[in-house]
Structure formats: C-alpha cells, structure tokens
Structure 1
C-alpha cells in the first residue's frame, strides 16, 4: 500500500557546508534581470541580495549587476550571416561606444559562480535576461566556431519568481543556455516561488519571506553551487589548468 501523500519534507535535504578556506577564493556574480524602477520593488532581486549575503558569510567575494542600469544593445545576429562575424569582443561593443555589455562580459569571465535572477514574464524569463542570453553568443561562439572556450570551471544557478506561471519552463530554457555556453550546473540549481492564481501581488514579499521551502531552496542553491565551485577550484589548482583565471 503506498504511503499517504503528506507533502514535501522540510529540512531533510540540506547541503553540507563546504570548506570555508576554499570558499574565500570563490568569486560570485549576481545578475538581476528585473525591470522594476526601484530595486526594493523586485522580489527576485531581493532573493538574489539574500543569496549574495550568504556567500559573503562564507568569505566569498561578491559582485552585483542590475542589467536594467546598463545600456546594452540588442544582439545584431552577425552569426546568421557568417559565424566568423560573431566575435569576442562583441561586434556591438565595438560598434557602439555607449554599449556597456563589456562590463557584464568582464564580470562573467571573472566569476566562479553566476546566479541569474529573473521574474517570469508570460511563462518566460525577462526581456533583460533574454538580451543577456543573446549577447552571450559572442562568448559561446568563441568555442563552437573558433575553438577557444572562455567559460571554464564555472558554476551557475537561478532564482525565478512568478505568479501562476511556469518556473520549470523558464529554468529549463536558462539551464540549457548556461550548460551550452560551458557552465556547470550544481545539485540544487534553482530557488523559486510561484504565487497563487488570485493575482494579488501585494502580499508576495511576505509570502516569499515566510515560505520555508523557498528559503531552504535558496540556502541549498548557495551551498550546492559553492561546493561545486570549490571542488572545481581545487581540481583546477591540482591540475594547474586555471592559469590566468
């Protein structure tokens, strides 16, 4: 006879804390894809802030970038004309003097862990995250066409917040992208929350803050990404493959 359905068990899947000495070598980048006018208005960004604070408690170095604050031009699809035209540095970065995507490239290439935070927009990630994804073509194409892998020994995770929308759809798309460009995906890669279908977003912040499963997922995301990044860092140092990273 099957066991009765009693819901998800809380507190039984806690990720062990990694070696704190190794943690001090880890650099974490948080990218916010929220388009809210005021930072305090974004619920996905609030969880990202909390995640970065947890990383700092382990001695990690953190950096935060709000994509909305940067002038980033759309990908112009140079790859579609000829793969050799999709280069790094990106053609758009060189074409437009006020394009600020290079700040994002530099931060991504310097980090050991990347955490993307996005709201759900009609069952998809935000347009700001999509612009980031498309502009990362310049990084991915360095390997697929030119044979130069720029994303190596890096870990990525997601924070996804929505209302009556599809977390798994958004996560599936973004994790596929992150894996494709070379990121490792940790044991727990997603912290999420989806609101009720009453559409009352005014109470979301309190519901998220008090949802013990979302908060546990966030801690496990932090720890599992950190454990994997530490393991990659140690392996890299042992094999001396990380010169210049």
Structure 2
C-alpha cells in the first residue's frame, strides 16, 4: 500500500552549529539583489536580514550590501575580445571613477560565507544580480585564464523568493555560477518561498513568516553554512601548518 501523501517531513534533522568561539572567526556577507527602493520593502531582503541576525547570534561578523544602493556599471564584455583583457582590478572599475563594484569585490574576497538574496523575475534572478554575476567575471577569469584562484575556502548560499514557479531554475543558475568561481555549497544551500497562483502579493510576508518549511530552511542554511565555513577554515589552517 503506498504511503499517504502528507508532504515534506518537518524537523527531520537538526544541523548542529560549531561552538561560538569557532564561529567568531567567520565573516558573513549578505548581498541583496532586490530592486525595491525602500529598505524593508523586499521580502527576500527581509529574510536575508533575518539570516544575518542569526549568524550574528552565533558570534559571526556580518556585512550587508544592497546592490541597488551602489553605482555599478555593466560588464563590457572585454573577455569576448580577448580573455587577457578581462582583468582584476576590473577594467570598468578603472575606467569609471564613480563605479562602486570594487566595494563588492572587496567584501566578497574578505568574507567566509556569502548569502545572496534575490527575487524571481520572469523565472530568473533579478537584473541587479545578473549585473553582479557578469562583473564577477573579473574574479573568475583570474583563475580560468591567469591561473590565479582568488576564491578559496568560501561558502555560498541562496535566498530566493517569488510568486511564480522558478526557484530550482534560479538556484541552478546561481549555484553553477558560484561553483565556477570556486565557492563551496553547504548541505542546505537554499532557503526559498514561492507564492500561490492568485498573484496577491499583499499577503506574501505573512505567509512566508508562517511557513515552517521556509523558516526551517533559513535556519538550516545558516547552520550548514557555518559548519562548512568552520571546517574549511580549519582545513586551511592545517594546510598552512603542514606547508611550514
């Protein structure tokens, strides 16, 4: 007799978090890819802020960046002309004095854990996130063309919120992107929520807050990211010790 369709199991596994002293060494960057002008309007950003608060509760240092607040020029595709033209520092950062992408580069390179939050826009991540992705070519190309890997022992996780189907598509694209950069993915890499077909976005936040699965995923995203980041940092320290 087939098992009854009761939905996903809740609370099946609890991911333990390393001790607070270990977590104090972890630096977490939260990147918001929402295009909402006013802070607090974006649901994906609200969940990101909640995740950062939980990281802080475990003793981590956090940094929050709204891509919307920065002047970031588009990638000009120098790689397409010649891979050696796609450099770090990025050509656009050097070309435009008011370009602020270097602030993002610095934050990414300094963090141990990066949590990227995005809404779903027509079955894809936001245009702001796409601009970030393309400008990160300067980092990725340092490894693929110049043999200089700039991303080592870092963890990436995602928060994806939308009102139409598309979480897996967005997650697949972004996880592929982070993998090419050299990031590691935790066992629970995604916290997400997708609204109903009625398109009534006015009730979304209440439903997100009451959705026990989304809240569990958010907690597990934080916990598993911390576990992996601490393990990678410990492994890096051991490798450094052996090389001396």
Tell me the alpha carbon deviations over residues 63-121 of structure 1, each in whole angstroms, 9 at most, x when there is no partner.
Answer: 00000000000000000000000000000000000000000000000000000000000
Following the alignment from structure 1 to structure 2, what is the Cα–Cα distance between the partners of residues 117 and 90? 24
CA RMSD of aligned residues (A): 1.1
SS at match of 1:41: coil
Alignment of 1:41-190 (within 5 A): 41-190=41-190
Where does residue 213 of structure 2 map in the other structure? 213
Where in structure 1 do 4 or more consecutive aligned residues deviate above 2 Å? none
Where does residue 226 of structure 1 map in the other structure? 226
C-alpha displacement of 1:3: 1.6
Following the alignment from structure 2 to structure 1, what is the Cα–Cα distance between the partners of residues 165 and 24? 37
If the length of structure 2 is used for normalisation, what is the TM-score? 0.98
Mapped pair 1:194 → 2:221: no
Following the alignment from structure 2 to structure 1, what is the Cα–Cα distance between the partners of residues 19 and 153? 18
SS at match of 2:89: coil
Following the alignment from structure 1 to structure 2, what is the Cα–Cα distance between the partners of residues 15 and 2? 30
Tell me the alpha carbon deviations over residues 213-242 of structure 1, each in whole angstroms, 9 at most, x when there is no partner.
Answer: 00000000000011000000111111118x
Instruction: Give structure 2 stretches of 5+ with no counterpart.
Output: none
SS at match of 2:162: strand
The answer as to whether partners of 1:122 and 1:165 remain within 8 angstroms in 2 is: no
Instruction: Give structure 1 stretches of 5+ with no counterpart.
Output: none
Following the alignment from structure 1 to structure 2, what is the Cα–Cα distance between the partners of residues 234 and 26? 11
C-alpha displacement of 1:141: 0.1
Following the alignment from structure 1 to structure 2, what is the Cα–Cα distance between the partners of residues 165 and 194? 7
Where does residue 5 of structure 2 map in the other structure? 5
Where does residue 29 of structure 2 map in the other structure? 29
The answer as to whether partners of 2:120 and 2:164 remain within 8 angstroms in 1 is: no
C-alpha displacement of 1:37: 1.2
Where does residue 40 of structure 1 map in the other structure? 40
